[in-house]
Amino acid sequence: MVGEQGGRDEFISEGFHYWSKKDSFRKHMELEKSNYEIRLLATICSCRFLLKNALPFRGHDEMEKSNNKGLFIEVLSLIREDNEKIFKVTLENAPKNEKLTSPTIKKDIVDCFSKEIIKSICDEIGKDMFAILVDESRNVSKKEQMVIVLRYVDRLGIVKERFIGIVRMLDTSSLTLKAVIDTIFSNNNLSMA
């Protein structure tokens, strides 16, 4: 008799409102959200330090027993040494699927920093004149790539050159190069005019 085995159809027909521990669940969710925010801020802080100092993120072996886990893990470990709140929710104390130390997470954070930096460069240029420097070459794995640099004069009269990015190219025809440059310009509110 399957219908008589344990439980009621509370979630099916009557809904969630009879559950006696909904406040406990709400408190648990708030605590998890707070822990996630602490973990995320520590990860962002570690990334910011490494980016600001042009340091590599990864080590040879990032396993917990390794002596050289890489600068990202080492900086995160240093941040948490004197902060009990961060210590309780990061690295080995974090849920296994939510450590926020994967290469994908770090790459997403770096991409966010990159977008903010490019936006500030474009805001500094504003409607003033600038030049674009483009160079195309192959990398070690024989894939075509294009480097884009903007050159402009700031409000103090200082000539600045700012690296905007490296774009992987399928081919190096002039139409493809122009299309990529146009996309970068439109994404950053820049105009050839």
pLDDT digits (tens, 9 = 90+) for 7-20: 555 555 555 554 56
pLDDT tier at 1, thresholds 50, 70, 90: very low
CA distance linking residue 32 with residue 95, whole number of Å: 10
- Confirm whether 19 is domain-assigned: yes
Picking from 190, 34, 19, 31, the residue whose alpha carbon sits closest to that of residue 119 is 190
Cα 61 from Cα 77, distance rounded (Å):
15
Q: Residue 3: inside a domain, yes or no?
A: no
- Model confidence pTM above 0.75: no
Whether 120 and 89 map to the same domain: the answer is no
Domain housing 52: 14-101
Residue 76 forms part of a structural domain: yes
Backbone dihedral region for residue 6 (phi beyond 0: left; psi -120 to 50: alpha; all else: beta): left
CA nearest to 112, candidates 47, 169, 15: 47
Q: Same domain for 65 and 135?
A: no
> Under 8 Å CB-to-CB from 3, ≥6 apart: which residues?
none
Query: What is the number of domains present in the chain?
Result: 2
